[in-house]
């Protein structure tokens, strides 16, 4: 870069940018090396299996409705249970277990209120975690 003046002496001034470019390149290389060492992602916890000899299958409640006019039917671990006995049965099952996880499988044709009532009964019975799943269509 040169500057010219209208004076009689012809002096030219130039800025030396070589040291500036050297510093910028060194900084660029440093940042390129440092940045990939940072871990990006979501923290997750992997379940650690306990060394127990006898593990109980998870508690599964299936809510099915065979006909449109009939009320929903409840199956706890593939056994038909009346709606009045559902909560006491779940309480007794969770009392005998360390894992208080409830799996609720429901027909897709059921209303939200019917499925939410089963989830609420499970929470009142002592379920810590509730998983929702749909039943496959036959």
pLDDT 10s digits, 87-117: 899 999 888 888 888 899 988 878 888 888 8
For 1-138, where are the E strands, in sequence order? 59-64, 73-76, 79-81, 101-106, 129-134
Does residue 132 sit in helix, strand or coil? strand
pLDDT 10s digits, 12-47: 888 888 999 999 999 999 988 887 665 666 666 677
Kindly report the length of the chain.
138
Is domain 59-134 given the CATH code 3.30.420.270 in the classification?
Answer: yes
| Per-position b or e across 101-134, b if 16+ CB within 10 A of its CB | ebbbbbbeebeeeebeebbebbeebbbeebeeee
Strand pairing partners for 132?
A: 104
Does residue 24 sit in helix, strand or coil? helix
């Amino acid at each position: 870069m040169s500057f010219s003046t209208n004076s009689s002496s012809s002096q030219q001034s130039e800025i030396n940018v070589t040291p500036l470019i050297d510093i910028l390149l060194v900084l660029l290389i440093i940042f390129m090396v440092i940045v990939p060492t940072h871990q990006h992602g979501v923290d997750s916890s992997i379940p650690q299996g306990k060394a127990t000899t006898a593990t109980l299958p998870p508690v599964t409640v299936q809510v099915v409705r065979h006909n449109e006019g009939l009320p929903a039917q409840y199956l706890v671990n593939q056994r038909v249970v009346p709606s009045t006995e559902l909560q006491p049965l779940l309480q007794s099952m969770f009392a005998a277990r360390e894992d208080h996880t409830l799996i609720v499988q429901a027909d897709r044709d059921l209303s939200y209120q019917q499925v939410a009532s089963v989830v609420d009964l499970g929470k009142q019975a002592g379920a810590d975690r509730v998983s929702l799943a749909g039943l496959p269509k036959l």
